[in-house]
Amino acid sequence: MAGRSQDWLGKTVVVTGGSSGIGAQVVRQFAERGATVFNLDRDLRHPSDDLNNSGSSIVQIATDVSDPESVLKALEHVRSAAGIPDVLVNAAGIYPSHTLVTMEDENWSDVLNVNLRGPFLTMRWLARAVSGDHAVDRSNLNRRVINISSGAARTGRAGAGHYCASKAGLEMLTKVAALEFADLGIAVNGVAPGLIATPGTADLSPDFCEILVQGQPVHRFGESDEVARATLFLADPATTFITGTVIDVDGGFMAGRPLPVA
Ligand SMILES: NC(=O)c1ccc[n+]([C@@H]2O[C@H](COP(=O)([O-])OP(=O)(O)OC[C@H]3O[C@@H](n4cnc5c(N)ncnc54)[C@H](O)[C@@H]3O)[C@@H](O)[C@H]2O)c1
């Protein structure tokens, strides 16, 4: 895109779930800034068909993040094509609406496998790759992992039980990984969106969405690019002392429920 800086030229970024919604915006924003971006998604719609930037490239790899073999194959492909990635963004996620009573065992497993096991598999691969490469500079937080969490990690009123549990687990995994990976020069942080307009939320019930929108100080849906901007902030080479934290991008939802005007 004209006018964008090419700060990410020569850098390699992996985004899971980059074909749609928030992940697609993350792909787009890195690509516009010159990065080589690998989209690991089980559905390979092109995230940025209209992106016409000669300095950037987007590579698509069909991947099921819940499948260890699929993740390993995709990330080894990335390594052989472009080296160990500088940035890993875990955006792939599913959020079916079951209650604890209606959900079946496989619903629970599906959500936990995609939303929690997926980030574990990609983060473990990255840490092992860096550990095994003695040429890698580990003196600073040169590499970044950003996990796309959700306000549902910290409140039960923003999603189904399996979804809330998966995102709570992801935020804890983010903290543990931050502790373990600091010596590898990898910062691990999260971004927790509120209600964002994406293809993924298009099917949510309008009543549920209305309750959420009215329950936040900024009474509107957020946009994917607003979440992507926070993600790029956490990936920015200038943020050299931030790890183990989660930024809420939610119009104030987690700040509390606004009181009705008297
Ligand atoms: N949209 C919101 O309101 C919202 C709010 C909070 C958190 N989030 C989180 O943001 C992330 C993106 O959500 P979105 O609304 O953009 O969703 P979306 O449905 O628009 O996009 C999700 C992408 O993940 C991919 N995906 C799903 N399962 C996969 C798998 N097993 N392997 C590989 N790819 C897979 C899908 O193909 C899709 O391209 C999710 O982790 C979601 O939990 C979204």
CA-to-CA distance for 194 and 154, rounded, in angstroms?
11
Q: Tell me the CA–centroid distance for residue 95 and ligand 1, in Å.
A: 8
Q: Give me the pLDDT at residue 261, please.
A: 67
Residues 19-29 have pLDDT tens digits of 999 999 999 99
Which of 16, 22, 106, 110 is the best mutation target for the ligand 1 pocket, counting ligand atoms within 8 Å of the beta carbon and taking the most? 22
DSSP H stretches of helix in 35-117: 68-82, 105-112
Q: Give me the pLDDT at residue 46, please.
A: 67
Q: Tell me the CA–centroid distance for residue 187 and ligand 1, in Å.
A: 22
Q: How many CB atoms lie within 10 A of CB 36?
A: 24
Please give the DSSP secondary-structure letter assigned to residue 92. Answer: -
H helix count then E strand count, the chain? 7, 9
Which of 196, 208, 246, 254 is the best mutation target for the ligand 1 pocket, counting ligand atoms within 8 Å of the beta carbon and taking the most? 196
Given pLDDT bands bounded at 50, 70 and 90, which one contains residue 163? very high
CA-to-CA distance for 50 and 165, rounded, in angstroms?
36
Q: Which atom of ligand 1 is nearest to the CA of 227?
A: 10
Q: Which atom of ligand 1 is nearest to the CA of 66?
A: 31
Given pLDDT bands bounded at 50, 70 and 90, which one contains residue 158? confident
Please give the DSSP secondary-structure letter assigned to residue 34. Answer: T
**Average pLDDT of the segment spanning 38-55:** 73
pTM of the model: 0.96
Q: Give me the pLDDT at residue 47, please.
A: 64
What whole-number percentage of the chain has pLDDT above 70? 94
CA-to-CA distance for 147 and 198, rounded, in angstroms?
18
In this predicted structure, the answer to whether residue 1 has a pLDDT above a threshold of 50 is: no
Chain centre to alpha carbon of residue 187: 14
Q: Which atom of ligand 1 is nearest to the CA of 195?
A: 3
Q: Tell me the CA–centroid distance for residue 136 and ligand 1, in Å.
A: 31
* Partners of residue 14 on adjacent β-strands: 38, 88
Which of 89, 94, 205 is the best mutation target for the ligand 1 pocket, counting ligand atoms within 8 Å of the beta carbon and taking the most? 94
Q: Which fold has domain 12-249?
A: Rossmann fold (3.40.50)
What whole-number percentage of the chain has pLDDT above 90? 82
| Ligand 1 pocket at CB < 6 A | 16-17, 19-23, 41-43, 63-66, 91-95, 114, 148, 150, 193, 195-196, 198-201
Residues tagged active-site:
163
